């Protein structure tokens, strides 16, 4: 959360900026994780893979050390001081429940579901937006993609 001084400085900066120039901001590099099966050799590998799984906008398949597999969407993770007290929380695709799985129980992870945030749809929309704006159109909107 920004301090009052930071917020004031940001508002001052924006007051002198052209809205068309600040409309598109740089983001971070997006990894293509769909289909990836990360190495889970070390505690750091496990933590890194599960952090990426949390950011992933598709389903993953977790294989537990007992051999059972769970496919679902990771919606939260709790990182503790060890793998035993670190947990990933997921919504299974086959159940109407939420599960909590300790990092120490996870033998393998696979990014098996479609990454709904992957692709160039937004970049195409931005290009189309500027083309339509240049033609003088107003009320330009983005329609959601059909996920089926």
Closest CA to 63 of 80, 38, 45, 31: 38
Give the pLDDT mean for 99-128.
85
For residue 67, what are the CA distances in angstroms to 36, 70, 85, 105, 107?
19, 10, 21, 10, 8
Domain of residue 93, residue span: 43-110
- Domain count across the chain: 1
Model confidence pLDDT, tens digit, residues 6-42: 677 777 766 666 655 655 555 545 667 888 889 988 9
3 lies in some domain: no
pTM of the model: 0.62
Model confidence pLDDT, tens digit, residues 48-69: 999 999 988 889 999 999 999 9
Closest CA to 33 of 63, 69, 60, 71: 60
Residue 61: strand pairing partners: 71, 110
Residue 63: strand pairing partners: 69, 108
136 lies in some domain: no
Q: How confident is the model at residue 1 (pLDDT cuts 50, 70, 90)?
A: very low
141 lies in some domain: no
Tell me, what CATH number does 94's domain have? 2.30.30.720
């Amino acid at each position: 959360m920004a301090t009052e001084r930071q917020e004031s400085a940001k508002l001052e900066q924006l007051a002198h900026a052209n809205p068309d120039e600040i409309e598109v901001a740089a983001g971070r590099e997006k990894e293509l994780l769909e289909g990836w099966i990360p190495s889970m050799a070390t505690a750091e590998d496990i933590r890194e893979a599960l952090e990426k799984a949390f950011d992933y906008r598709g389903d993953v398949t977790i294989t537990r050390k007992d051999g059972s597999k769970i496919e679902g969407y990771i919606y939260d993770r709790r990182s503790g001081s060890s793998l035993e007290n670190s947990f990933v929380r997921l919504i299974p695709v086959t159940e109407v429940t939420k599960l909590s799985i300790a990092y120490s129980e996870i033998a393998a992870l696979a990014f098996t579901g479609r990454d709904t945030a992957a692709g160039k749809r937004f970049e195409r929309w931005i290009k189309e937006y500027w083309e339509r704006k240049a033609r003088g159109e107003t009320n330009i909107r983005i329609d959601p993609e059909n996920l089926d």
